[in-house]
Amino acid sequence: MINLETYQVWFVTGSQHLYGNEVLRQVADHAQQIARALNDSPQIPVKVVFKPVVTTPEAIYDVCLEANRAPDCIGLITWMHTFSPAKMWINGLAALQKPFLHLHTQFNRDIPWATIDMDFMNLNQSAHGDREFGFVASRMRANRKVVVGHWQADETQQEIGVWTRAACARLDWQGAKFARFGDNMRQVAVTEGDKVAAQIQFGYAVNGYGVHDLVESVNHVTNADVDRLVAEYEATYRIAESLRAGGKYRESLRDAARIELGLRHFLEEGPFKGFTDTFEDLPGLKQLPGIAVQRLMAEGYGFGAEGDWKTAALLRAINVMGAGLPGGASFMEDYTYHMDPQGEKVLGAHMLEVSPSIANGKPSAEIYPLSIGGKADPVRLLFDTRTGPALNASMIDLGNRFRLIVNEVEVVPPDEPLPKLPVARALWLPKPNFKTALAAWIYAGGAHHTAFSQAIASAHLHDFAEMSNMEFLLIDDHTELTEFRKELRWNEAYYRNA
Ligand code: MN
């Protein structure tokens, strides 16, 4: 399970020596109060660490290098309580390899109308101190997030919280390893991509393993461990008649548990943060991993079917961003449509691999044949998805860049029960409407595979894309197709120059 409390963001306040020690003492005191308040905010999941006020180019450079080296530091929050001549920041910002958030706030919320004097003005001057810092950041084309608002305001803290979650996911990708069992599904285009480019840009490595490596791990699983896991299944899910003790497919349930234990062991040994498989390459495995993949996704692993490593890495990032928030996330595929003009909807599912973290109620473990792959019937968890707001995110490789496409959706209950559908599923209304959302998605080249989340919002992914230098396209209530198509054209020109 992922715990964001182990991460830190550093609160760095800029000033200068011109003001004298008394003012600098007050600056430090105020900055500590802000850092403490942010640290205590329930909106911000990471530790906010106060760093001594910086007043020289050397101190700024040092804190930036220190942040680069600190393994748990996700980035910086910068704030200029007073004026901090910003040429002092150039060397530090040029060396900084972690994202930063520029908090444009003021210690005093209100102007003290009756008592305000020049001392107050000299201390509370982020209105121009932050502009000086902002200029240098823009002059350097520094990638950063600007948050404006009083530091005690809930909305300000919430925006900082969103950004820190994105920065945790970015740090989690650095040095991360993703395993691919087998290669891509034959002839599929969108799941391909440049793994070297991804490693250079995002910091994670994707490497292939033979299915025999996994089979070896599965074969080492003991019967006692299988007994324990089957008992856990029985305590956690409803179990179909045929899978219960004495049932016709009891051995298949035990095979599924054995695959889960072998896969889990393999991932822990890596250690890997996610994986892909493909139904076209399963020699030595009795069934396509179903319940195993479902449960591992719910624990925070990334997963992509048919060799889809980009979605596996993206789902991992989304699991990190959403850690501790209500709602889950899953690998997902846009499967089939309900095109009734009274309510056009998308039915999302996959052959097996949907995470029970999005389940509405207790999932049910069942077994059915899989119409492709030619293996024994796989065990899977069946459920409907919780209703409410959600999003689908897809990452594609356009050759000269990666693009992240996000569509906000509303999950709705099925119009009628689906008694014959043997997979977990979600039904949603895409925003702004069916016709616009789907046309925009297809013009943008969005994949049929997505990472689906009910825990995070599009704002998390926007921050994440910005700090990862990824193109970001949002399809939401404000999307208008003519404008969206212009954005695609303009981005094409921008990225040719960038
Ligand atoms: Mn698929």
The mean predicted confidence, pLDDT, of the chain is 97
Please name which of 105, 109, 108, 110 lies closest in space to residue 157, comparing C-alpha atoms: 105
Among residues of the chain, what percentage have pLDDT more than 70? 100
Query: Which of 285-289, 372-376, 430-434, 493-497: highest mean pLDDT?
Result: 430-434
In which element (H, E) is residue 230 found? helix 223-236
Instruction: Determine the Cα–Cα distance for residues 461 and 473; give it in Å rounded to an integer.
Output: 10
> Which of the four pLDDT bands, split at 50, 70 and 90, describes residue 375?
confident
The pLDDT score that the predictor gives to residue 370 is 85
Neighbours of ion ligand 1 (CB under 5 A): 305, 333
Confidence of residue 109 (pLDDT cuts 50, 70, 90): very high
| Residue 349: HSE in the Cβ half-sphere, 13 Å Cα cutoff | 19
How many Å lie between the centroid of ligand 1 and the Cα of residue 453? 17
Q: Are 243 and 253 in contact (CB under 8 A)?
A: yes
- Tell me the percentage of the chain whose pLDDT exceeds 90: 97
Q: 11-65 pLDDT, tens per residue?
A: 999 999 998 999 999 999 999 999 999 999 999 999 999 999 999 999 999 999 9
- Distance from Cα 352 to the centre of ligand 1, integer Å: 10
Confidence category of residue 178, pLDDT binned at 50, 70, 90:
very high
At residue 248, does pLDDT exceed 80? Answer: yes
Q: 69 pLDDT band (50/70/90 cuts)?
A: very high
Distance 241 CA to ligand 1 centre (A): 29
Cα of 263 to ligand 1 centre, how many Å?
20
- Please tell me the distance between residue 210's alpha carbon and the centre of ligand 1 in angstroms: 20
Q: Using the mean position of ligand 1's atoms as its centre, give its distance from the Cα of residue 308 in Å.
A: 8
CA of 492 to the centre of ligand 1 (A): 28
Q: Which strands sit side by side in the sheet containing 177-181, from one edge to the other?
A: 205-209, 177-181, 274-276, 302-304
**Rounded to the nearest whole angstrom, what is the distance from the C-alpha of residue 416 to the centroid of ligand 1?**
25
Mean pLDDT lowest for which of 115-124, 372-381, 439-448, 475-484? 372-381
pLDDT at 355 (0 to 100): 98
Does the pLDDT of residue 372 top 80, yes or no? no
pLDDT digits (tens, 9 = 90+) for 422-475: 999 999 999 999 999 999 999 999 999 999 999 999 999 999 999 999 999 999
Residue 393: closest CA among 86, 166, 93:
166
Arithmetic mean of pLDDT, 306-318: 98
Q: How far does residue 281's CA lie from ligand 1's centre (Å)?
A: 14
Question: Does 391 score more than 90 pLDDT?
Answer: yes
Measured in Å, residue 431 CA sits from the centre of ligand 1 at 23
Mean pLDDT of 272-297: 95
